[in-house]
Structure 1
Amino acid sequence: MALGCWLCRAPSTSECILGELAEKYDYGPGTRMEEFCEVFQVKEKATGHSFSCKRFRKRDGRRVREIARNEAHMLKMIKHPNVLQLVDSFETRTEYILITEYATGKEVFEWLLELGRYSEQDASVVLHQVLTAVSHLHSLGIVHRDLKLETLMYHTRNGDTNIVLTDFHLAKMEGRRIREPCGTPEYLEGSSNKLCRLLFSAPEVVAKKKYGRPVDCWAVGVIMYILLSGNPPFYVECDDHANHDKSLYRQILAGNYEFDSPYWDEISDAAKDLVSKLLEVNQEHRMTAKEALAHEWTCGKAALDKDIKSGVCAQMKRNFAKRRWKKAFQVTTVVKHLMGNQRGTNERKRRTDVEMETEGETRSTDEEEAVGPEQKSQMSGLEEEEEKVCTKNQH
């Protein structure tokens, strides 16, 4: 069932919808897990073009069902070259299925590590595209609410192609000011993505005040800070998680960051000026996406061409690589869990909608299980590979 039909009337029978899906697409390999859904690569039979397929299981709870419907609704409204586009959508008795463009390029994080040379001008090109997309969203009254390094990807493997924004499941129409903390309790409470989201959270979100489009501009400021130094603007060295979070909250609320030496010694004053205006604590005075697009640094006029790759690469590897590996192992755990429950799939499909919803609300899955010897071995291999890539590019 096409998107317009999905949003306007009740779904047809699951058999008809699955048949329509099977007629149009072939499922490919490469299943992976994201925070709320499974992702597959599919190929359109008529054209041979590849697309990305997200499958949200209704039995995983009301929150997942709301997120699936919300992402479809938001993507339907957005037509922009720097946003991953919705192609098709389907709803069955047990699933929501979204077909989007397939981004074959790397995340910006990976792209930076593989560059032979990297300067402020390269970062300026990235930020200009991000701000162009964010400015378009804000013109539609949409707040992304989850901008971070992982949501920025190159559309194709060619690094000269467009940057695209992904993951719109937490996006929201601004309307009146928003109060809920990014739409999910996990945003500021315990979860595998907690620290990542917190690093990009604006003061008004941390303080649980009403907020709107300025939160995206704050997140862009954090992204820019990281791309120019390899460090997050707010960081606490502490093994005690409770005290760590409290200290991080206080830093964000006070806007307590610095342009530390030596990481910012070679960075232009224009870049620091833009970061400062985006990381303005008062959301009423924070620079807008449209204003940031007109800034001399974003336009490329004041961005320096000096190579800063070695310093940025080393710090990004130190600050973010282990977090990415941890996320990969948590995803592996979820995939193994799903594979282990595959035998019960047919039985679950015969359950009524009420039974599945009840199960979805009461079911709990432990995604934080300990890393075993085999996974530790994989982590070691990933670390060695990351070291080789970074060292090779520095030389």
Structure 2
Amino acid sequence: MQNDFYKTKNIKEDFKFDKVLGEGSFAVVHKCIRKENNEEVAVKVIDKANLEHDDQLALETECEIMANIDHPNIVKCTCVYDEKSKFYMVMELMTGGELFDRIVEKEFYSEKEACDVIKPIVDAINYCHKMGIAHRDLKPENLLYTSPDPDATIKISDFGLAKVISDELMTTACGTPSYIAPEILEGKGYTFAVDYWSIGVILYVLLCGFPPFYEDTNEKLFAMIKKGQFEFPSPQWDPISNQAKDLIKNLLKVDPKQRYNAEQILNHAWIKDGGASRKHLPDSLEALRQFNARRRLRRAQFSVLATTRLKHLIMNK
């Protein structure tokens, strides 16, 4: 890892800590000010005492990945500070909010808006895959905007479950239940294609305001996902174009070999040839508002399952 990226001195020599932006099970994110130039950044603070060995390894992997990633649609990590009891990741400050929070504030919403969201995400994921990195936890919460401006850039965040792979298949059961690809649940090994499945789920929700796979228990949900059982129910999907449905069908293929990759997605008529309709979708927007309100309410329940717990659910299906 580059020397200028990895630092062992006290972070408070360089940064002034401001308000807490968010808290997770392992980390707290603070807004901080760089003393040198008053630049505002986000600093993820990880308490080492809470980390098990696997978590420590995952953190090292995340740092290795973030040190090498440079893409306009991926949140930038500029450096890390490794102190005795805590670990700090200095990140680009994203002030524009999460994807769905942003959409539900709109007065007008169309397929074109959904297309404009998906395109840069696919481009960023394609970049990661070419570098040998699988994200493995793509979901709306990990898609953030740089600022509140209407033309702000969307970026992928949180590479905490990302993995660098070469030729071997990944086998770790990880991810967030509604967005998990079927091959992860089968436990047979999987490839980069898992990220395109997650993009398919996100696109489905973007267009109608509810997920393609939904059940009361994870056991039933996983059974649905493994069969790839989903529909485009009427009347919610009636105003959505056949081209959009075709792209989703090709992303939510149970067989990862048949699933669309980045090139196929970006060359699909709905994305490439302006196939995405500009017609207002008031019902989809209202459904998205309701979905987002429920999502925020049940956030704790939908947090990333610990690897061991997810393994347990899969093994005892």
Same fold (TM over 0.5): yes
- How far the C-alpha of 1:329 sits from its partner, in A, is 10
After the TM superposition, which of the residue ranges 214-223 and 64-73 deviates more from structure 2? Answer: 64-73
SS at match of 2:104: helix
SS in 1 for 2:270: coil
Work out whether 1:225 is the aligned partner of 2:216. Answer: no
Specify the code of the residue in structure 2 equivalent to 1:42.
Answer: C
Question: 8 Å contact 2:4–2:79 — kept in the other structure?
Answer: no
Match of 2:76 among 85, 96, 107: 85
Poorly superposed stretches of 4+, deviation over 4 Å: 328-331
1:181 aligns with 2:173: yes
2:138 aligned to which of 128, 142, 147: 147
Please tell me whether the aligned partners of residues 133 and 163 of structure 2 are also in contact (alpha carbons under 8 angstroms). yes
Query: Any idea what SS the aligned residue of 1:153 has?
Result: strand
- For residues 46 and 14 of structure 2, the distance between their equivalents in structure 1, rounded to whole angstroms, comes to 19
- Which is strand-richer, 1 or 2? 2
Tell me how far 1:36 sits from its aligned partner: 2.5
1:322-333 equivalent positions in 2, closer than 5 A: 322-327=294-299
2:312 alignment counterpart: none
The secondary structure found in structure 2 opposite 1:4 is coil
Map 1:30-41; keep pairs closer than 5 Å.
Answer: 30-41=20-31
The residue type paired with residue 202 of structure 1 is: A
Superposition pairs of residues 192-231 of structure 1, within 5 angstroms: 197-231=176-210
Distance 1:180 1:23 in 2: 38
Matched, 1:126 2:98: no
Does the Cα contact within 8 Å between 2:43 and 2:88 map onto a contact in 1? Answer: yes
Q: What whole-Å deviation, never above 9, does each CA across 1:287-344 have from its counterpart, x for those lacking one?
A: 0022211111122511011111x3123323333422312337999xxxxxxxxxxxxx
- Alignment counterpart, residue 273 of structure 1, candidates 239, 243, 246: 246
Q: Unaligned 5+ residue runs, structure 2?
A: 304-317
The CA deviation string for residues 245-287 of structure 1, in whole angstroms up to 9 with x for no partner, is 2221121111100011111101111100100000011001110
Whole-angstrom distance in 2 between the partners of 1:51 and 1:171:
22
Say if 1:278 and 1:31 are closer, same or farther in 2 by CA, change over 3 A.
Answer: closer
Give the unaligned 5+ runs of structure 1: 188-196, 239-243, 332-395
AA aligned to 2:213 is: F
Question: What letter corresponds to residue 246 of structure 2 in structure 1?
Answer: D
Paired residue for 1:167?
Answer: 158
Conserved? CA contact 1:27–1:40, under 8 Å: yes
Between the two proteins, what is the percent identity of the paired residues? 30
**Match for residue 313 of structure 1?**
285
Choose which of 188, 209, 224 in structure 2 pairs with 1:251.
224
How big is the shift at 1:6?
Answer: 8.8
What whole-Å deviation, never above 9, does each CA across 1:224-243 have from its counterpart, x for those lacking one? Answer: 0000000100112x4xxxxx
- Equivalent residue in structure 1 for 2:233, among 247, 260, 264: 260
SS in 2 for 1:246: helix
User: What is the deviation of 1:45?
Assistant: 1.4
The separation in 1 between residues aligned to 2:179 and 2:64, in whole angstroms, is: 24
User: Which residue in 2 is equivalent to 1:359?
Assistant: none
**Aligned: 1:115 with 2:106:** yes
Write out per-residue CA displacement over residues 97-117 of structure 1, whole angstroms, 9 at most, x where no aligned residue. Answer: 100100111111011100110
For the pair 1:136 / 2:127, whether they are aligned, the reply is yes
CA distance in structure 1 between the partners assigned to 2:259 and 2:137 by the alignment: 18
For residues 330 and 118 of structure 1, do their structure 2 counterparts lie closer, same or farther at Cα, with a shift above 3 Å needed?
closer
**Contact map agreement 2:67 2:79 (CA 8 A) in 1:** no
Number of equivalences: 301
CA distance in 1, matches of 2:300, 2:218: 23
Residue aligning to 1:4: 2
Match of 2:268 in 1: 295
TM-score normalised to structure 1 length: 0.72
- Indicate the SS of the match to 2:46: strand
- Say which SS state the counterpart of residue 235 (structure 2) adopts: coil
Contact 2:5-2:79 at 8 Å conserved across structures: no
Alignment pair present for 1:51 and 2:41 = yes
Contact map agreement 1:57 1:65 (CA 8 A) in 2: no
Bigger Rg over Cα:
1
Q: Could you say which residue in structure 1 is the equivalent of 2:314?
A: none
Q: 1:148 touches 1:219 (CA, 8 Å); kept in 2?
A: yes
Give 1:348's aligned residue. Answer: none
Tell me how large the CA RMSD over aligned residues is. Answer: 2.0
Which residue does 1:364 correspond to in 2?
none
